[in-house]
Amino acid sequence: GGVLSAVVSAGLSVMRVHPSLCALVGSAGHFRSLCQVIADAEGSDPDLAIDSKCLQLCLQALSSSSNAEPAANAKLVKQLLLHIRQRHAQTLALVLETLCACLKASGVMRRQAVELGGVADLLGILGAGVQLSHVVDGSAARVHAIHCLKSLNEDEDKGAAVGVMLEDNESWKACEGQRHDLFLSSGGATALLL
């Protein structure tokens, strides 16, 4: 765990300094490996925080448009939704931020999210209210869930079906017209995790 954590941290640091290197994550096939590490790390010692670092790496890599297809092929959305369902207190906001990046990057990933039940998962976050009090940066998690739902609602293929699901949901009605970017810090939670 310690060596892998150091390697992922180093890779993330290099990508932040040289954003052009982000494209290498997809072209070299690393999204599948990252998804596997995230899956294997769930439920492990939270002090290792390898899943958090891998999530940060995925989020940074998604800043390159060339990584949308490799991330979709690696089923990154599926892994993120599994993580959301478990509501890990330390990483939920980061998982939702990464999911937002996926949904903005690719129609394929938006369709994957809808087909995998992501709308219900995201509405569950909105309806959780007090249950998010244990989550690190719970208000940011909620805002990211709203942004994800908006992305899904605007999708050309699945937007109409998503709109029907959102139409009668009280949690969605309470927040859909509000401005939510005021609740996010300028650097985001990811900048603080390194």
CB-based contact 144:100 (threshold 8 Å): yes
CB-based contact 15:22 (threshold 8 Å): yes
pLDDT confidence of residue 187: 46
Residue 191's pLDDT band, with cuts at 50, 70 and 90, is very low
pLDDT tens-place string over residues 134-149: 888 888 898 999 999 9
Structure tokens at 69: 């297809």
CB-based contact 53:12 (threshold 8 Å): yes
- Whole-model pTM? 0.85
Structure tokens at 78: 């599926």
Q: Which residues contact 112 (CB under 8 A, 6 or more apart)?
A: 72, 75, 77, 78, 118
